[in-house]
């Protein structure tokens, strides 16, 4: 966020705190929609309803579009179906669809009923696709031409239309019955003579099927450096297009969603206290359960710890080193899976490299800790125990750091969410088990 934006936000919050509501209303409605949305998101829940009353209706649609899903859902609860239909009528189809998907199903149907027939018909076509699919991301503002039109006819049509959608780098070529044929780059249109036929200058391009997952859409845009891409249905009918700004919004949304799920947090910084208690409590419970598992391993060796008390000083170090190594490998693996870089042909190379890295680092840092322990406690036996247990734990850290994400993906679970909890539990258990188990053997 820019310093100016922070300053504007802070100034308005101070004005609201002083109760200068008329001054706030004037200032609010003079700001861009993005800034107003940020101010709403930066306000406690009780104040948001009041702020929304200060906003003029002409600005409400653009502000709704810029709000995060969690906050937008709250704001929509203040509005009736007529109002939602009215303030969103000038937005793009995909933006309206995003807003409607934050409404309960019954309310969404009521809003659709209040819309004009044309908007309703277009929206129903978009809403039938999942939100995380190409069909869910697309908008329907496409310009189509026929293969046997001339350059002159198309340019004349564009002049008459006088309203070219934003991010238009291509026109889409379709047959008379709307079957997709290819794309016509604007550069080809303006650099060819008026009599040239579109079929001769169009580019054959593979369209995106509406059912394609949004992750695949993101990869295709990244790989081919696309500004826009056509979207078709199963019968090869052109039904819309996706633009790079839609893809950027989806990347931001997915990153935010992964962070929320990973930590058990809401996307709303100022969510209600009761909601925060519930959402965070679940993950604290999971952490407590895994901590009990690790502690139960320690309890098995309580007699050894009582006899050799300095084991209690050193055993957290073994578990901690394994946890860090596992997290490093887990991060590399999850990133590789997300980018589509890890596959059966290169998996074993990556696994062998990570094992080598884990063992070498384990051996080196075990020697360092062994020397420190020897001079600390004047015990050569403990140095040997540390060396063996750290090598075992870092080896297991690498195996779990690569194996757990792949296993979760096989079961169609998100490795970024549950992976960290599982691998840190494994390294804690293995770390304590190997360290205290070896100590029991050596000191018995």
pLDDT digits (tens, 9 = 90+) for 414-443: 676 667 788 888 999 999 999 999 999 988
The answer to whether residue 6 scores a pLDDT higher than 70 is no
Which pLDDT belongs to residue 346? 87
Least confident span in 13-22, 61-70, 196-205: 13-22
Q: Which residue has the higher pLDDT, 120 or 225?
A: 225
CA–CA distances in Å: residue 32 to residues 8, 26, 272: 11, 13, 27
Q: Tell me which residue has tokens 């800790």.
A: 369
pTM: 0.67
- Residue 433: which of 307, 313, 304 has the closest Cα? 304
Which pLDDT belongs to residue 437? 93
Cα distance between residue 418 and residue 39, in whole Å = 33
Domain with CATH 1.10.357.20 in the chain: 273-443
Residues whose CB is less than 8 angstroms from the CB of residue 386 and which lie 6 or more positions away in sequence, other chains included:
314, 318, 366, 369, 370, 373, 435
The answer to whether residue 97 scores a pLDDT higher than 90 is no
Cα distance between residue 405 and residue 407, in whole Å = 5
Which pLDDT belongs to residue 51? 84
pLDDT digits (tens, 9 = 90+) for 380-426: 888 899 989 999 999 999 999 999 988 888 877 767 666 778 888 89
Per residue, the 3-state secondary structure of the chain, as one string, reads CCHHHHHHHHHHHHHHHCCCHHHHHHHHHHCCHHHHHHHHHCCCHHHHHHHHHHCCHHHHHHHHHHCCHHHHHHHHCCCCHHHHHHHCCCCCHHHHHHHHCCCCHHHHHHHHHHCCHHHHHHHHHHHCCCCCEHHHHCECCCCEECCCCEHHHHHHHHHHHCCCCCCCCEEEEECCCCEEEEEEEHHHHHCCCCCCEHHHHCECCCCEECCCEHHHHHHHHHHHCCCEEEEECCCCEEEEEEEHHHHHHHHHHHHHHHHHHHHCCCCCCCCCHHHHHHHHHHHHHHHHHHHHHHHHHHHHCHHHHHHCCCHHHHHHHHHHHHHHHHHHHHHHHHHHHHCCCCCHHHHHHHHHHHHHHHHHHHHHHHHHHHHHHHHHHCCHHHHHHHHHHHHHHHHHHHHHHHHHHHHHHHCCCCHHHHHHHHHHHHHHHHHHHHHHHHHHHHHC
What's the whole-number average pLDDT of the chain?
85
What integer is the mean pLDDT of 222-229? 92
Cα distance between residue 376 and residue 173, in whole Å = 78
Which pLDDT belongs to residue 269? 67
Domain with CATH 1.25.60.10 in the chain: 3-133
Q: Which residue has the higher pLDDT, 229 or 29?
A: 229
pLDDT digits (tens, 9 = 90+) for 240-260: 999 998 898 888 777 666 655
Query: Do residues 389 and 318 make contact, with C-beta atoms less than 8 angstroms apart?
Result: yes
Provide the pLDDT confidence category of residue 8 given band limits of 50, 70 and 90.
Answer: low
Q: Which residue has the higher pLDDT, 276 or 202?
A: 202
pLDDT digits (tens, 9 = 90+) for 133-170: 999 999 888 999 999 999 999 999 998 887 788 889 99
Which CATH number, 3.60.15.10, 3.40.120.10, 3.10.580.10, 2.40.50.100, labels domain 144-243?
A: 3.10.580.10
The answer to whether residue 94 scores a pLDDT higher than 90 is no
The answer to whether residue 25 scores a pLDDT higher than 80 is no
Which CATH number, 1.25.60.10, 1.10.10.10, 2.40.50.100, 1.10.150.120, labels domain 3-133?
A: 1.25.60.10
Superfamily of segment(s) 273-443? SLC41 divalent cation transporters, integral membrane domain (1.10.357.20)
């Amino acid at each position: 966020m820019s310093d100016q934006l922070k300053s504007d936000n802070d100034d308005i919050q101070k004005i609201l705190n002083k109760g200068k509501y008329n001054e706030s209303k004037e200032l609010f409605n003079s700001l861009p929609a993005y800034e107003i949305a940020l101010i709403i998101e930066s306000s406690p829940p009780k104040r948001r309803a009041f702020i929304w009353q200060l906003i003029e209706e002409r600005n409400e649609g653009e502000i709704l579009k810029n709000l995060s899903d969690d906050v937008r859902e709250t704001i929509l609860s203040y509005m009736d179906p007529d109002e939602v239909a009215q303030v969103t009528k000038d937005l793009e189809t995909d933006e309206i669809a995003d807003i409607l998907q934050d409404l309960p199903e019954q309310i969404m149907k009521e809003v659709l009923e209040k819309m004009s027939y044309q908007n309703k018909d277009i929206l129903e076509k978009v809403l039938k696709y999942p939100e995380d699919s190409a069909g869910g991301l697309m908008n329907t503002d496409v310009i189509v031409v026929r293969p046997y039109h001339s350059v002159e006819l198309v340019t004349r049509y564009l002049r008459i239309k006088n309203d070219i959608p934003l991010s238009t780098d291509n026109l889409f070529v379709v047959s008379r019955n709307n079957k997709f044929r290819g794309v016509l780059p604007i550069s080809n249109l303006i650099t060819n003579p008026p009599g040239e036929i579109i079929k001769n200058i169009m580019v054959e391009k593979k369209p995106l099927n509406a059912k394609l997952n949004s992750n695949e859409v993101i990869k295709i845009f990244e790989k081919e450096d696309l500004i826009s891409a056509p979207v078709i249905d199963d019968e090869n009918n052109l039904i819309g297009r996706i633009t790079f700004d839609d893809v950027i919004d989806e990347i931001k949304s997915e990153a935010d969603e992964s962070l929320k799920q990973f930590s058990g947090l809401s996307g709303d910084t100022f969510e209600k206290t009761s909601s925060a208690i519930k959402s965070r409590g679940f993950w604290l419970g999971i952490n407590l359960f895994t901590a009990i598992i690790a502690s139960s391993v320690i309890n098995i060796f309580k007699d050894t710890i009582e006899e050799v008390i300095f084991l209690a000083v050193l055993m957290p170090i073994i578990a901690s080193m394994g946890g860090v190594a596992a997290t490093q490998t887990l991060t590399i693996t999850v990133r590789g899976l997300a980018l589509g870089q890890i596959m059966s042909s290169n998996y074993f190379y990556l696994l062998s490299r990570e094992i080598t890295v884990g063992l070498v680092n384990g051996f080196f840092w075990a020697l360092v800790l062994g020397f420190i322990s020897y001079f600390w406690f004047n015990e050569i036996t403990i140095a040997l125990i540390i060396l063996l247990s750290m090598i075992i734990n870092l080896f297991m850290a690498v195996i779990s750091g690569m194996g757990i994400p792949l296993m979760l993906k096989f079961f169609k679970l998100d490795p970024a969410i549950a992976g960290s909890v599982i691998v840190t539990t494994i390294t804690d258990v293995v770390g304590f088990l190997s360290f205290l188990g070896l100590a029991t053997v050596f000191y018995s």
